[in-house]
Amino acid sequence: MTKKIAILVQGGNDKFLAPIRDWFESRFEVRVIKGNNRDKIQEALNWADLTWVEWVQKLAVDVSKMERKGKLVMRLHSFEAYTSLPSLVDWQNVDALVLVAPHVTDILRLRISDITDLTTIFILPNCIDTDQFDIPANKQKTGKIAFVGQLRHTKNLPLVLQCFASAHQADPTLTLHLAGEYDGGELEVMELALYINHITHAMGLGKSVSLHRHVDDIATWLQDKDALISASIRESFGYNIGEAMACGVRPAIHNFPGAGSIYPEELIFNTVKECRNILLAKGPTSQDLRAHVFKSWPLKLQMVKLAELTGMMLG
C-alpha cells in the first residue's frame, strides 16, 4: 500500500520546497496544505503516515500539540532559530527536526539547550540543480559584480557597498549590480532605501551601481558576472552563493556564523580588505567553482538523504 505524506506549509511559503515535494510525489501519495485552516490541518494529520511541516513558526507550534496518525517531521531553515517560536514547540511530540546545516543546531541550542535530547536532528543539505545553471561558452571578464537577494538589513547592504567601493578604488571599471527587491517592514524598507541611495552617491558610485529589482531568470542574469558579494549576517546555506558558483561566478562570502563549515576558506572574508582581495583575485577558475558545486551539493545528495529520512520514519 502506498504511504501517505502530508506537507503543511506555513503561510504558503513553499519557495524551497519544490525538489522535496517532487521527490515525495514520485514515490508517495501526497497532499499539500497551505494556510492555517485548522480543520484541513487536522484532517491531513489524521490521514498521513508522515506529516512534513515546512518552517518552524506558529503552524509548527500548533501542529506539535495536535493529535495525528503518523510520524511528524519539521524543517527549520535558519531565521526561525533566531526567534522564540521553536521554544514553544512540543519537541517530544516531534519525530524528527530537519535542518539544512549542522551550524543551525548550535544556534538553536542557544534557546533550547537540550534540543538534541528532545527530538532526532536530521541534516538534509540544500543542494543545487546544476542542470539549471551553467558557465557560458567563452566566458569573458566584464568587471560586473553581482548581489542577489532581498534588500533588507539581514543581507547587510551597507557592507556590500563598502566592499565594492574598496574594489572599485583599485579598479574603477568595476560595476555593481543588485538583483532584488526591498523587503521587510515599512521602517526597514524606507530607512535602507534612503541610506543606500544616499551613501552610493556620497561615495561617488552613482554611475557604477545599478538596481535591477527582481530578476526572474537568475541563471541567465549571472552569465556575464565575474563575482558576487554575499555580506549576510545570517544564512543557513545561501542559494545565491551556490548558484553563482554553478555559473562560474566567484563569490566573496562574509563570515556569517557557520560559513566556514560550508564554503572554502579562500572565499570567506571578515574585513573589507579581504573582500576586495577576493573580488580582484584571478582564482579559483570558473570551472573550479562549478566543480566544487558538483562535488559538495549535487541534487542527488538531497534525494539520497530524503530516502534515508523516510526510511527511518516509515520503516
> What would the pLDDT profile of 6-20 be if each residue is shown by its tens digit?
999 998 788 889 899
User: Are 40 and 110 in a shared domain?
Assistant: yes
User: Are 154 and 222 in a shared domain?
Assistant: yes
User: Are 275 and 155 in a shared domain?
Assistant: yes
User: Are 160 and 248 in a shared domain?
Assistant: yes
Mean pLDDT over each residue of the chain, to the nearest integer: 95
C-alpha cell at 171: 579598479
Q: Given phi > 0 = left and psi -120 to 50 = alpha, else beta, which region is 49?
A: alpha
* pLDDT for the residue numbered 312: 95
* pLDDT for the residue numbered 16: 85
| pLDDT(255) > 90 | yes
Q: pLDDT tens digit string along 168-210?
A: 999 999 999 999 999 999 999 999 999 999 999 999 999 999 9
Q: Are the C-beta atoms of residues 296 and 267 closer than 8 Å to each other?
A: no
* pLDDT for the residue numbered 40: 95
User: Are 69 and 100 in a shared domain?
Assistant: yes
Domain of residue 211, CATH code: 3.40.50.2000
User: Are 159 and 289 in a shared domain?
Assistant: yes
For residue 120, the enclosing domain spans: 4-127+298-314
User: Are 137 and 275 in a shared domain?
Assistant: yes
| pLDDT(92) > 90 | yes
User: Are 109 and 242 in a shared domain?
Assistant: no
